[in-house]
């Protein structure tokens, strides 16, 4: 992922008529916002952990779904 170029952003704002100090402040805040969003992104490790948790939940559901008919038949048939 590329980083936010604050100098280029400030220069572009200056060329559009924004005062230099304001352009620098705005560019700095834009960079901070871009970095904050990047921190919220899921990593490969996050996705792998999620996949493992979901896999085990599915395994548990499959086992429960297969056991339910057996339990139902045993309860109808009796001891």
Q: What is the pLDDT of residue 74?
A: 80
Q: How many domains does the chain have?
A: 2
If asked whether residues 36 and 1 sit together in one domain, one would say yes
Confidence of residue 79 (pLDDT cuts 50, 70, 90): low
If asked whether residues 12 and 27 sit together in one domain, one would say yes
Separation CA 30–CA 37 (nearest Å): 11
**Cβ pair 21, 46 in contact under 8 A:** no
Separation CA 60–CA 45 (nearest Å): 23
pLDDT digits (tens, 9 = 90+) for 4-61: 888 999 999 999 999 999 999 999 999 888 887 676 778 899 999 999 999 999 999 9
If asked whether residues 1 and 11 sit together in one domain, one would say yes
Exposed, middle or buried: residue 27 (CB in 10 Å: 0-12, 13-18, 19+)?
Answer: buried
Q: What is the pLDDT of residue 39?
A: 67
**Cβ pair 38, 1 in contact under 8 A:** yes
């Amino acid at each position: 992922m590329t980083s936010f170029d604050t100098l280029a952003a400030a220069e572009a704002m200056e060329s559009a008529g924004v005062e230099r100090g304001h352009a620098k402040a705005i560019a700095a805040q834009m960079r901070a916002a871009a970095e904050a969003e990047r921190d919220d992104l899921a990593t490969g490790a996050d996705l792998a952990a999620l996949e493992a948790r979901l896999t085990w939940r599915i395994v548990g559901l499959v086992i429960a779904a297969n056991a339910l008919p057996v339990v139902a038949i045993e309860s109808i048939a009796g001891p």
